[in-house]
Structure 1
Amino acid sequence: MTALLASVRSSEEALDAAQAGAELIDLKEPGAGALGSVSLHEITRIVATLRSTYPVKPISATIGDVATDAIDEISARVIEVGNTGVDYVKVGVTPGDSARRCLIELASLPAAVVPVFLCDAGIDVDLTRFAAELGFPGIVFDTAVKDGRTLFDCVDKNRLADCLRAAGAHGAMTGLAGSLGLKQLADIRELAPDIAGFRTALCEGGRGGRLDPAKVSQWAEALHRSAVADAH
């Protein structure tokens, strides 16, 4: 079954998303970029609020939009976000000259880091395999530029399937995100990642709007419906 990850910016949105059926809660500030970070104080507050009602609901948080070659800054932010008590720390990684060096550093840190490959210019299956072999708990494929293009506009579906297999072969959770909507539902179901992540599709008024619990429920049902159909 593909689990629904809902990206939220506040404790109110986090509680709404959890109650509406999101299996994973992801903390990010959409106004600060693709992987814009919520303040450390606010992350800590959201984690405490959410866990008082949903003690085992997995929570992730982003470190912000940081260039892949800024490895010292990335490492420092990973430690800071990891110390807030989240289960996973998400870090954007752009394929290129610095990607492997960044991944090696991330794998050495005392935090459960989930690399988020920013696939606007495509993705390398070998890079995915390299990341998976480092033992990350999960690998996500996303986009950095929110200009109306989706992940499937940037990466061929067959290439994504190869990447998902490469990641899954080493036990990593696999995730897809990147301006996904109803037009991509059939492709999501076909690829069957462990996680599908959403922000824009869950909000009234677009990515920067308020999360709508009804939309969360609709997406949870849509993702789970395929699993029910497969079981029969």
Structure 2
Amino acid sequence: MLVSVRSVDEALFAARGGADFIDLKEPNEGALGGLPVATIGAIVAALRAHGIGLPVSATIGDLPMNDLGGILAQVEVVGACGVDYVKVGIERGPGALAVLDALAASNWPVVPVFIADHGLDAVLTAHACTLGFPGLMVDTADKQAGSLFDAVSMAELRAFLAQVRAAGPMAGVAGALRVAHVPLLQSLAPDFAGFRSAVCVADRKTALCPERLAALAALLHGEAVERVAA
């Protein structure tokens, strides 16, 4: 259970509420909106100061594939904040292969996130599987257009996960995931599934909700719950 947070308070709340993986992003800035570097560093420091050793990832922001220099520069500054993984959105189309090659040569543990609003590019993901990344992930950009399951078929997702597993990296999924999607997630059994909307008071830009977070954590971890808010 990966939970996306944007502040020290949210990070501590998510860690204590059942999250297995803390992801740092700013939902007001897009699907992979980046937080200020100072905020990323402060969150990492606070988690470690409280004895929380959960893995932490951070996004670099929504940067286009034709801005390779900007992407690599942002990877450097985010990686230097002490996160365990740096997440970089990968859009299908010209430039994506070159970006993947450059990220693989980075000094930081990068997790490419394939933006799949229009499906997955099997050639692109197959290439990424050869580059030694610690993890690969699929997500959506337009959270208002539906969930990952509206954008990508179960067959495509199974193929992606099988491809990644065969290569060795972790495999993750995200994209406006809700409680109703848990059975589908359990069927796919990714290494991790990312949530924000499902554990907020209202939409993904609002505050985290204690009841929703606890209920989702219990459901994903196989614990008994009386009711889970949708």
Q: Shared topology, TM-score over 0.5?
A: yes
Q: Equivalent residue for 1:179? A: 176
Check conservation: 1:29, 1:35, Cα contact below 8 A: yes
Cα drift, residue 225 of structure 1: 1.5
Superposed structure 1 runs of 4+ greater than 3 Å apart? none
**In 2, Cα distance between equivalents of 1:56 and 1:14:** 12
Q: Which residue of 2 is the match for residue 44 of structure 1?
A: 41
Which blocks of at least 5 consecutive residues in structure 1 are unaligned?
Answer: 227-232
Give the CA RMSD over aligned residues. Answer: 1.1
| Cα distance between partner residues in 2 of 1:132 and 1:114 | 11
Higher relative contact order (CA 8 A, sep 6+): 1
1:230 maps to what in 2? none
The residue correspondences of 1:73-112 to structure 2 (distance < 5 A) are 73-112=70-109
The C-alpha deviation readout for 1:145-164, integer Å capped at 9, x for no partner, is 12141111111111110001
- Distance in 2 (alpha carbons) for counterparts of 1:169 and 1:42: 36
- Preserved contact between residue 78 and residue 111 of structure 1 (Cα < 8 Å): yes
How big is each residue's C-alpha offset from its partner over 1:147-184, in whole Å with a ceiling of 9 and x where there is no partner?
14111111111111000110111111111100011221
What is the 5 A alignment of 1:1-232? 4-225=1-222
Write the distance in 2 (CA, Å) between the matches of 1:184 and 1:194: 16
Which letter maps to 2:61? G
For 1:177, give the aligned amino acid. A
Cα distance in 1, alignment partners of residues 177 and 206 from structure 2: 16
- Report if the CA contact (8 A) 2:47-2:53 is conserved: no
Report % sequence identity: 46
Asked if the contact 1:175/1:197 (under 8 Å) is kept, the reply is yes
Secondary structure of the residue aligned to 1:25 is: strand
Q: TM-score, normalised by structure 1?
A: 0.93
Count residues with an aligned counterpart: 223
Aligned to 1:225, the other structure's residue is in SS state: coil
- Structure 1 distance, partners of 2:183, 2:122, is 23
Separation in 2 of the partners of 1:217 and 1:69? 41
- TM-score scaled to structure 2, two decimals? 0.94
3-state SS of 1:46 partner: helix
- Report SS of the residue matched to 1:169: helix
